[in-house]
Amino acid sequence: MDIQSSLKKLPSVEKVLEDARIAPRITLLSRKGVTRIVREAIERRRRTLLEGSKARVSGNDIMASVADDVASELDALSISGTRRVINATGVVLHTNLGRAVLGESVRAAIDSAARGYVDLEIDLASGKRTERGLRVGRLLSLLTGAEDAFVVNNNAAAVLLAVQTIAGSGAVAVSRGELVEIGGSFRLPEILALAAGRVIEVGTTNRTHRKDYEKAVRDGATLLLKVHTSNYRIVGYTNEVSLGELAEVGRAAGVPVMHDQGSGVLYPLRGVGIEGEECLETTLESGVDIMSFSTDKVLGGPQGGALVGSAPLIARMKENHLSRALRPDKLALAGLEQTLRDYWNGSFERIPSLRMIMEPADRLREKAAGLAGRIAARGVPDLDVKIVESESSIGGGSFPINPLRTVVVQITLPAGRAERLAALVRGGSPSVLVRVKDHSVMIDPRTILSDEEDELIATLVDGLERILRRE
């Protein structure tokens, strides 16, 4: 059958809609959507034929192919598009996997808020309307030592709101070495350009001095901004102005100083031997006026962007009409409030991300040995399984040059099969993400939750059997 004859065999939209697999799936609100899916499937088939496919097809084959495509998409739309993933990579704050894992107490708080009405903006004692997020702000200010605090829906929003409020039509000064690009190709210079009338870039990529900021003030800067460089460090012939020194420049000139701290390190990790970043309280003590950070990174809560510092500046941000567009909902606030309450009560073990970061080496070795033993016990022949030293990563743009020592399960496979195994388990249910190094699959127990081990073993062994026995 030539191409033109095949094109004539393409079914009409109505014929596909009447197919026995499609018609029962059409609901009151979905008819227009299903019709659109059918048109798209027919058009895809038309393009395939026009591209010169030489396959001999009948009209029935074309009809079946189109109906199959439509039925497959309807199946996909009928189930949850968010798939559960077991993270065996060792990256604790894996941005592509949703960053911080929430603990049981936080999940319970979110569930409670989702089940019914809550006192989101009402004082139950007086019956009067009140400010959203007051309890979260109070806990943040008490835990960090700040005068006041305010939360929006993510840290990029926090930076946008703070810079727009403080700098406004004026100018924000920032070092060229700190003009970072964050995940998804979002660049700080573009955010600052939206927020302030002018951006004054100071210093060079690798060297910025106090005099550069002082000149920026003379050139009209109304805000001095220092940015955490997230997922990289500049080393070698470098110089940067410390927060304390920048605060001195700001105080002398009467210009506010802001620090985008990014990671949200509330627990003093340096005290447990994890170097690289100061905790929020210590950073505020440097004298900065405002600090912003993510609540879903090292802090370990749901997504949000926190602003802490000067009460008058925080008050101005709350009054900014932009804050309404950036505010978090009741679920995020309920989860964050419980996260902060766990910190306040000293219940650090309730925060999974913090627990993973601080997991002791002997415990990781014990978990790795247990996993390796269970994999070996499943009897997959010719399997090379070892326990080896390796490194985990905190992730989320935090501690970029400070990896965590870990112990992993290393499964060495014939050439090319490690990648195939990784792809197989990634497509499992639940999906399992692993690291691949050379010809080995690496399973890092640091980021595997205790109730995930059975499913992890089952998915891995099934993949191994398919690769080593059946293929």
DSSP state letters, 90-132: -EEE-GGGTSSPPPHHHHHHHHHHHHS---SSEETTTTEE--T
Q: Which two tokens stand for residue 326?
A: 């950036």
Task: Look up the CATH number of domain 104-350.
Answer: 3.40.640.10
DSSP state letters, 205-217: SSB--HHHHHHHH
Q: Residue 40 pLDDT > 90, yes or no?
A: yes
**Distance, CA of 167 to CA of 95 (rounded, Å):** 30
Q: Residue 470 pLDDT > 60, yes or no?
A: no
Q: Which pLDDT value is given to residue 232?
A: 64
Confidence band of 183 (pLDDT split at 50, 70, 90) = low
Q: Which pLDDT value is given to residue 381?
A: 80
Q: Residue 182 pLDDT > 90, yes or no?
A: no
| CA-based torsion, 395, 399, 403, 406: positive or negative | negative
**Distance, CA of 3 to CA of 47 (rounded, Å):** 11
H-run or E-run covering 135:
helix 134-144
Percent of the chain with pLDDT over 70: 95
Q: Residue 471 pLDDT > 60, yes or no?
A: no
| CA-based torsion, 103, 303, 298, 448: positive or negative | positive
Q: Which pLDDT value is given to residue 185?
A: 64
Q: Which pLDDT value is given to residue 284?
A: 94
Q: Which pLDDT value is given to residue 441?
A: 96
CB 326 within 8 A of CB 307: no
The least confident of 196-200, 204-208, 369-373, 451-455 is 204-208
DSSP state of 177: G
CB 383 within 8 A of CB 415: no
- Which residue intervals of the chain bear CATH 3.90.1150.180? 356-470
Strand partners, 290: 258, 309
**Distance, CA of 201 to CA of 206 (rounded, Å):** 13
Q: Residue 264 pLDDT > 80, yes or no?
A: yes
Through-space distance between the first and last CA atoms of the chain, rounded to whole angstroms: 36
Three-point CA angle 102, 146, 333, nearest 5°? 30
At 104-123, the pLDDT tens digits run: 999 999 999 999 999 999 99
Tokens 């009338």 -> residue: 197
**Distance, CA of 254 to CA of 176 (rounded, Å):** 23
CB 388 within 8 A of CB 408: yes
Q: What angle in degrees, to the nearest 10, is found between the helix axes of 155-166 and 188-195?
A: 40
Q: Which pLDDT value is given to residue 59?
A: 56
The least confident of 232-246, 324-338, 453-467 is 232-246
CB 319 within 8 A of CB 349: no
Does 340 or 179 have the greater pLDDT score? 340
Short-list 240, 190, 246, 241, CA closest to 221: 246
Look at strands 404-412 and 186-187 and give their pairing: unpaired
At 307-340, the pLDDT tens digits run: 999 999 999 999 999 999 999 999 999 999 999 9
- Which residue intervals of the chain bear CATH 3.40.640.10? 104-350
Q: How many residues does the chain have?
A: 471
Confidence band of 100 (pLDDT split at 50, 70, 90) = very high
Fold for 356-470, please state it: Aspartate Aminotransferase, domain 1 (3.90.1150)
When pLDDT is averaged across residues 444-468 and rounded to a whole number, the result is 93
**Distance, CA of 235 to CA of 241 (rounded, Å):** 15
When pLDDT is averaged across residues 190-202 and rounded to a whole number, the result is 93
Q: Which pLDDT value is given to residue 273?
A: 78
CB 401 within 8 A of CB 277: no
The least confident of 244-253, 273-282, 324-333 is 273-282
CB 187 within 8 A of CB 243: no
**Distance, CA of 261 to CA of 251 (rounded, Å):** 20
DSSP state letters, 238-282: -B---HHHHHHHHHHHT--EEEEEES---S-GGGGT--S---HHH
Short-list 317, 309, 275, CA closest to 292: 309
At 136-152, the pLDDT tens digits run: 999 999 999 999 999 99
Number of Cα atoms under 13 Å in the Cβ half of residue 102: 23
Does 184 or 64 have the greater pLDDT score? 64
Give me the amino acid identity at 16: V
At 201-235, the pLDDT tens digits run: 999 989 999 999 999 999 999 999 999 876 666 77
Number of Cα atoms under 13 Å in the Cβ half of residue 225: 36
Please report, to the nearest 10 degrees, the dihedral formed by the alpha carbons of residues 219, 220, 224, 225 taken in order.
-90
**φ and ψ at residue 228, rounded to 5 degrees:** -65, 130
Confidence band of 260 (pLDDT split at 50, 70, 90) = very high
Q: Which two tokens stand for residue 82?
A: 């968010």
Q: Residue 163 pLDDT > 70, yes or no?
A: yes
Does 194 or 78 have the greater pLDDT score? 194
Average pLDDT taken over every residue of the chain: 91
3-state secondary structure of 200: strand
Q: Which two tokens stand for residue 413?
A: 């496979």
